[in-house]
Amino acid sequence: MLYPLKFKPIFKERIWGGKRLKNLFNKDFSPLSNSGESWELSGVKENISVVENGFLAGNSLNEIIEVYMGDLVGEKVFKMCGTEFPLLIKLLDTDSYLSIQVHPDDNFAGKHHNSLGKTEMWVVLNAEKDAEIITGFNRDVDRDTYLEYLNSKRLKEILNVEKAQKGDVFYIPAGRIHAIGAGITLLEIQQTSDLTYRVYDWDRKDDKGQSRELHTDKALEVLDFKKYDSYKTNYSPEKNQFTELVKSPWFTTRIMKFNREREIDYSFLDSFIIYSCIEGSCKINYPTGTEAVQAGNVVLIPADLKNITLTPTGNCTIVESYIT
Protein backbone atom coordinates (compact mmCIF):
# COMPACT_ATOMS: atom_id res chain seq x y z
CA MET A 1 0.00 0.00 0.00
CA LEU A 2 1.14 3.53 -0.73
CA TYR A 3 2.10 5.82 2.15
CA PRO A 4 2.90 9.51 2.82
CA LEU A 5 5.97 10.31 0.72
CA LYS A 6 8.86 12.61 1.57
CA PHE A 7 11.39 13.77 -1.00
CA LYS A 8 14.98 14.95 -1.04
CA PRO A 9 15.13 18.76 -1.30
CA ILE A 10 16.75 20.23 -4.41
CA PHE A 11 18.70 23.30 -3.28
CA LYS A 12 19.26 26.27 -5.59
CA GLU A 13 21.92 28.92 -4.99
CA ARG A 14 20.65 32.32 -6.14
CA ILE A 15 22.20 35.76 -6.55
CA TRP A 16 19.55 37.03 -4.10
CA GLY A 17 19.51 33.96 -1.81
CA GLY A 18 19.78 33.83 1.98
CA LYS A 19 20.77 31.29 4.64
CA ARG A 20 17.66 31.23 6.86
CA LEU A 21 16.42 27.85 5.64
CA LYS A 22 19.23 26.29 7.68
CA ASN A 23 18.29 28.09 10.88
CA LEU A 24 14.51 27.97 10.47
CA PHE A 25 14.10 24.46 9.09
CA ASN A 26 17.45 22.72 9.56
CA LYS A 27 18.04 22.51 5.80
CA ASP A 28 21.63 21.47 5.02
CA PHE A 29 22.37 23.07 1.66
CA SER A 30 26.17 22.73 1.88
CA PRO A 31 28.38 23.17 -0.10
CA LEU A 32 26.27 26.00 -1.52
CA SER A 33 26.86 29.46 -0.06
CA ASN A 34 23.12 30.10 0.13
CA SER A 35 19.82 28.46 -0.65
CA GLY A 36 17.56 30.99 -2.29
CA GLU A 37 15.24 28.15 -3.21
CA SER A 38 14.65 24.66 -1.87
CA TRP A 39 12.53 22.69 -4.31
CA GLU A 40 10.68 20.37 -1.94
CA LEU A 41 8.47 18.60 -4.49
CA SER A 42 9.19 18.96 -8.19
CA GLY A 43 8.23 17.37 -11.48
CA VAL A 44 10.19 19.95 -13.52
CA LYS A 45 12.40 18.31 -16.14
CA GLU A 46 15.99 17.83 -14.94
CA ASN A 47 14.78 18.66 -11.42
CA ILE A 48 12.64 15.62 -10.63
CA SER A 49 12.20 14.93 -6.92
CA VAL A 50 13.44 11.62 -5.49
CA VAL A 51 11.69 9.77 -2.66
CA GLU A 52 13.69 9.59 0.58
CA ASN A 53 11.45 7.49 2.87
CA GLY A 54 9.93 4.01 2.86
CA PHE A 55 10.21 1.20 0.33
CA LEU A 56 10.05 3.61 -2.62
CA ALA A 57 13.17 5.51 -1.48
CA GLY A 58 15.48 6.24 -4.41
CA ASN A 59 12.69 6.31 -7.00
CA SER A 60 11.87 9.52 -8.83
CA LEU A 61 8.46 11.17 -8.68
CA ASN A 62 7.82 10.47 -12.36
CA GLU A 63 8.77 6.81 -11.96
CA ILE A 64 6.29 6.21 -9.17
CA ILE A 65 3.53 8.07 -11.04
CA GLU A 66 4.18 5.76 -14.01
CA VAL A 67 3.74 2.71 -11.77
CA TYR A 68 0.90 3.82 -9.48
CA MET A 69 -0.90 6.25 -11.79
CA GLY A 70 -4.29 7.29 -10.41
CA ASP A 71 -3.69 5.57 -7.07
CA LEU A 72 -0.95 8.13 -6.45
CA VAL A 73 -2.19 11.34 -8.10
CA GLY A 74 -5.91 10.68 -8.63
CA GLU A 75 -7.63 9.28 -11.72
CA LYS A 76 -8.72 12.68 -13.01
CA VAL A 77 -5.28 14.20 -12.45
CA PHE A 78 -3.54 11.27 -14.16
CA LYS A 79 -5.87 11.50 -17.15
CA MET A 80 -5.15 15.23 -17.39
CA CYS A 81 -1.39 15.29 -16.66
CA GLY A 82 -0.04 11.79 -17.26
CA THR A 83 3.31 11.26 -15.55
CA GLU A 84 4.03 15.00 -15.27
CA PHE A 85 3.30 16.09 -11.72
CA PRO A 86 1.27 19.34 -11.95
CA LEU A 87 2.54 21.28 -8.91
CA LEU A 88 5.91 22.56 -7.73
CA ILE A 89 6.43 23.29 -4.04
CA LYS A 90 9.33 25.52 -2.94
CA LEU A 91 10.73 27.25 0.10
CA LEU A 92 12.30 30.62 -0.77
CA ASP A 93 14.62 32.80 1.27
CA THR A 94 15.87 36.23 0.23
CA ASP A 95 18.78 38.48 1.19
CA SER A 96 18.02 40.98 -1.57
CA TYR A 97 15.20 41.74 -4.01
CA LEU A 98 14.36 39.20 -6.70
CA SER A 99 14.02 40.65 -10.17
CA ILE A 100 10.74 42.32 -11.04
CA GLN A 101 9.15 39.67 -13.20
CA VAL A 102 6.05 38.16 -14.76
CA HIS A 103 5.02 34.65 -15.83
CA PRO A 104 3.05 33.57 -18.92
CA ASP A 105 -0.26 31.69 -18.83
CA ASP A 106 -0.84 28.21 -20.20
CA ASN A 107 -1.78 29.36 -23.70
CA PHE A 108 1.25 31.60 -24.20
CA ALA A 109 3.65 29.14 -22.56
CA GLY A 110 2.31 26.24 -24.60
CA LYS A 111 2.64 28.15 -27.86
CA HIS A 112 6.11 29.59 -27.24
CA HIS A 113 7.78 27.11 -24.89
CA ASN A 114 5.79 23.85 -25.10
CA SER A 115 5.26 24.25 -21.37
CA LEU A 116 2.65 24.95 -18.75
CA GLY A 117 2.23 28.53 -17.63
CA LYS A 118 3.05 29.67 -14.13
CA THR A 119 0.38 30.73 -11.69
CA GLU A 120 1.63 30.69 -8.10
CA MET A 121 0.91 31.71 -4.53
CA TRP A 122 3.01 32.62 -1.50
CA VAL A 123 2.61 32.09 2.22
CA VAL A 124 5.02 34.32 4.16
CA LEU A 125 6.77 32.27 6.86
CA ASN A 126 9.16 34.89 8.18
CA ALA A 127 9.75 38.56 7.38
CA GLU A 128 12.21 41.08 8.69
CA LYS A 129 11.00 44.54 9.66
CA ASP A 130 9.93 46.64 6.66
CA ALA A 131 10.40 43.72 4.23
CA GLU A 132 8.50 44.35 0.99
CA ILE A 133 6.58 42.40 -1.60
CA ILE A 134 5.69 43.84 -5.00
CA THR A 135 2.50 42.53 -6.57
CA GLY A 136 0.59 44.24 -9.37
CA PHE A 137 0.27 47.91 -10.33
CA ASN A 138 -0.83 50.73 -8.04
CA ARG A 139 -2.69 52.42 -10.89
CA ASP A 140 -4.10 51.47 -14.29
CA VAL A 141 -1.34 51.87 -16.86
CA ASP A 142 -0.96 51.28 -20.56
CA ARG A 143 1.95 49.90 -22.54
CA ASP A 144 3.51 53.30 -23.26
CA THR A 145 3.32 54.49 -19.65
CA TYR A 146 4.80 51.23 -18.45
CA LEU A 147 7.72 51.49 -20.89
CA GLU A 148 8.32 55.11 -19.90
CA TYR A 149 8.74 54.17 -16.23
CA LEU A 150 10.72 51.03 -17.06
CA ASN A 151 13.20 52.79 -19.33
CA SER A 152 13.71 55.65 -16.86
CA LYS A 153 14.35 53.07 -14.07
CA ARG A 154 11.37 54.36 -12.09
CA LEU A 155 9.23 51.23 -12.51
CA LYS A 156 8.73 50.72 -8.78
CA GLU A 157 6.85 54.04 -8.61
CA ILE A 158 3.85 52.53 -10.45
CA LEU A 159 3.90 49.16 -8.68
CA ASN A 160 1.90 48.05 -5.65
CA VAL A 161 4.26 47.56 -2.70
CA GLU A 162 3.08 45.66 0.40
CA LYS A 163 4.80 45.36 3.77
CA ALA A 164 5.29 41.62 4.30
CA GLN A 165 4.35 39.99 7.57
CA LYS A 166 4.36 36.40 8.77
CA GLY A 167 1.13 34.71 7.72
CA ASP A 168 0.48 36.93 4.69
CA VAL A 169 -0.84 35.13 1.62
CA PHE A 170 -0.50 36.43 -1.94
CA TYR A 171 -2.00 34.83 -5.04
CA ILE A 172 0.01 35.61 -8.18
CA PRO A 173 -1.91 34.68 -11.35
CA ALA A 174 0.00 34.47 -14.62
CA GLY A 175 0.38 37.96 -16.07
CA ARG A 176 0.75 39.76 -12.74
CA ILE A 177 3.99 41.68 -12.27
CA HIS A 178 5.68 40.86 -8.95
CA ALA A 179 8.86 40.61 -6.90
CA ILE A 180 9.87 39.35 -3.46
CA GLY A 181 11.92 41.78 -1.39
CA ALA A 182 14.86 41.19 0.95
CA GLY A 183 14.50 39.47 4.32
CA ILE A 184 11.59 37.17 3.48
CA THR A 185 11.18 33.41 3.82
CA LEU A 186 8.09 31.96 2.19
CA LEU A 187 6.34 28.86 0.92
CA GLU A 188 5.60 28.95 -2.80
CA ILE A 189 2.99 26.73 -4.45
CA GLN A 190 2.92 26.92 -8.23
CA GLN A 191 2.26 25.17 -11.48
CA THR A 192 5.02 22.88 -12.72
CA SER A 193 6.91 25.45 -14.76
CA ASP A 194 10.19 27.32 -14.53
CA LEU A 195 9.23 30.09 -16.94
CA THR A 196 10.10 33.60 -15.74
CA TYR A 197 10.26 36.79 -17.79
CA ARG A 198 12.56 39.27 -16.03
CA VAL A 199 11.44 42.86 -16.41
CA TYR A 200 13.99 44.68 -14.26
CA ASP A 201 16.89 43.32 -12.20
CA TRP A 202 17.91 46.41 -10.22
CA ASP A 203 20.99 46.94 -12.47
CA ARG A 204 22.97 44.35 -10.51
CA LYS A 205 25.81 42.19 -11.78
CA ASP A 206 26.68 38.59 -11.00
CA ASP A 207 30.07 37.46 -9.64
CA LYS A 208 31.45 37.61 -13.20
CA GLY A 209 30.31 41.19 -13.71
CA GLN A 210 27.49 40.17 -16.03
CA SER A 211 23.90 41.37 -16.00
CA ARG A 212 21.19 38.72 -16.07
CA GLU A 213 19.08 38.42 -19.20
CA LEU A 214 15.90 40.52 -19.40
CA HIS A 215 12.79 39.51 -21.33
CA THR A 216 11.20 42.88 -22.07
CA ASP A 217 9.40 41.94 -25.29
CA LYS A 218 7.87 38.70 -24.05
CA ALA A 219 6.84 40.38 -20.79
CA LEU A 220 4.94 43.02 -22.77
CA GLU A 221 2.89 40.28 -24.42
CA VAL A 222 1.70 38.74 -21.15
CA LEU A 223 1.51 41.62 -18.63
CA ASP A 224 -1.83 42.48 -17.03
CA PHE A 225 -1.73 46.28 -16.72
CA LYS A 226 -4.96 46.56 -14.72
CA LYS A 227 -4.97 47.82 -11.13
CA TYR A 228 -6.89 45.61 -8.68
CA ASP A 229 -8.57 46.70 -5.46
CA SER A 230 -6.71 44.16 -3.34
CA TYR A 231 -3.69 41.93 -3.86
CA LYS A 232 -3.43 40.22 -0.48
CA THR A 233 -5.58 37.19 0.35
CA ASN A 234 -7.75 37.87 3.37
CA TYR A 235 -8.51 34.85 5.51
CA SER A 236 -9.51 34.17 9.12
CA PRO A 237 -8.19 30.80 10.28
CA GLU A 238 -10.33 28.87 12.74
CA LYS A 239 -8.40 26.71 15.19
CA ASN A 240 -8.42 23.00 14.36
CA GLN A 241 -10.26 23.52 11.07
CA PHE A 242 -9.09 23.93 7.48
CA THR A 243 -9.52 27.44 6.08
CA GLU A 244 -9.47 27.99 2.32
CA LEU A 245 -6.75 30.28 1.01
CA VAL A 246 -6.89 29.90 -2.78
CA LYS A 247 -9.25 28.06 -5.10
CA SER A 248 -8.14 28.21 -8.72
CA PRO A 249 -8.23 25.99 -11.82
CA TRP A 250 -4.62 25.01 -11.08
CA PHE A 251 -4.67 24.30 -7.35
CA THR A 252 -6.69 24.66 -4.19
CA THR A 253 -4.96 25.45 -0.92
CA ARG A 254 -6.16 25.46 2.68
CA ILE A 255 -4.42 26.14 5.97
CA MET A 256 -4.97 24.61 9.39
CA LYS A 257 -3.57 25.65 12.75
CA PHE A 258 -4.30 22.82 15.17
CA ASN A 259 -3.43 21.62 18.65
CA ARG A 260 -5.58 18.51 18.90
CA GLU A 261 -5.92 15.30 16.93
CA ARG A 262 -7.82 15.63 13.67
CA GLU A 263 -9.35 12.84 11.59
CA ILE A 264 -9.35 13.80 7.91
CA ASP A 265 -11.63 12.19 5.31
CA TYR A 266 -10.60 12.71 1.67
CA SER A 267 -13.28 10.52 0.10
CA PHE A 268 -14.67 13.65 -1.61
CA LEU A 269 -11.44 14.20 -3.52
CA ASP A 270 -9.94 12.59 -6.64
CA SER A 271 -6.47 14.04 -6.19
CA PHE A 272 -3.20 13.73 -4.33
CA ILE A 273 -2.79 15.99 -1.29
CA ILE A 274 0.36 17.88 -0.36
CA TYR A 275 1.02 18.86 3.23
CA SER A 276 3.53 21.65 3.78
CA CYS A 277 4.28 21.89 7.49
CA ILE A 278 5.19 25.50 8.23
CA GLU A 279 5.15 25.53 12.03
CA GLY A 280 5.47 22.94 14.79
CA SER A 281 5.27 19.21 14.19
CA CYS A 282 2.76 16.38 13.94
CA LYS A 283 2.35 12.72 13.06
CA ILE A 284 0.44 11.52 10.02
CA ASN A 285 -1.31 8.30 10.99
CA TYR A 286 -2.54 6.14 8.10
CA PRO A 287 -3.87 2.56 7.95
CA THR A 288 -0.46 0.84 7.83
CA GLY A 289 1.82 3.21 9.73
CA THR A 290 2.85 6.64 10.95
CA GLU A 291 4.99 9.39 9.41
CA ALA A 292 6.51 12.18 11.53
CA VAL A 293 6.42 15.70 10.07
CA GLN A 294 8.08 18.90 11.27
CA ALA A 295 8.30 22.51 10.11
CA GLY A 296 9.98 22.66 6.71
CA ASN A 297 8.76 19.21 5.63
CA VAL A 298 6.61 18.70 2.54
CA VAL A 299 4.73 15.40 2.27
CA LEU A 300 2.81 13.93 -0.65
CA ILE A 301 -0.33 12.05 0.44
CA PRO A 302 -1.34 9.54 -2.27
CA ALA A 303 -4.85 9.85 -3.66
CA ASP A 304 -5.83 6.37 -2.45
CA LEU A 305 -5.19 7.29 1.20
CA LYS A 306 -8.67 8.56 1.94
CA ASN A 307 -8.57 8.48 5.74
CA ILE A 308 -5.72 9.79 7.85
CA THR A 309 -5.33 11.19 11.33
CA LEU A 310 -3.11 14.15 12.20
CA THR A 311 -1.70 14.18 15.73
CA PRO A 312 0.08 17.43 16.65
CA THR A 313 2.89 17.90 19.11
CA GLY A 314 1.64 21.09 20.76
CA ASN A 315 0.70 23.64 18.09
CA CYS A 316 1.16 22.79 14.42
CA THR A 317 0.34 24.58 11.16
CA ILE A 318 0.06 22.89 7.77
CA VAL A 319 -0.80 24.18 4.32
CA GLU A 320 -2.76 21.67 2.24
CA SER A 321 -2.69 21.68 -1.58
CA TYR A 322 -4.59 19.61 -4.12
CA ILE A 323 -6.22 19.69 -7.57
CA THR A 324 -9.98 20.01 -7.92
User: What amino acid positions are annotated as catalytic residues?
Assistant: 198
CA 313, 318, 323, 324 torsion: positive or negative? Answer: positive
Reduced to 3 states (helix: H, G, I; strand: E, B; else coil), residue 305 is: coil
Reduced to 3 states (helix: H, G, I; strand: E, B; else coil), residue 61 is: helix
Query: For the chain, how big is the Rg over CA atoms in Å?
Result: 20
Reduced to 3 states (helix: H, G, I; strand: E, B; else coil), residue 81 is: helix
Task: Supply the DSSP string of 121-156, one letter for each residue.
Answer: EEEEEEE-TT-EEEEEESS---HHHHHHHHHTT-GG
**CA gap 96, 3 in Å, rounded:** 39
Among candidates 87, 89, 183, which has minimal Cα distance to 133? 183
CA distances to 17, 28, 50, 120, 157 from 32, rounded to whole Å, are 10, 9, 20, 26, 35
**Other C-beta atoms within 10 Å of 142: how many?**
9
CA distances to 3, 132, 165, 290 from 273, rounded to whole Å, are 12, 31, 27, 16
CA 270, 295, 96, 123 torsion: positive or negative? Answer: positive
Q: Are 262 and 272 in contact (CB under 8 A)?
A: no
**CA gap 270, 80 in Å, rounded:** 12
Among candidates 322, 314, 316, 320, which has minimal Cα distance to 298? 320
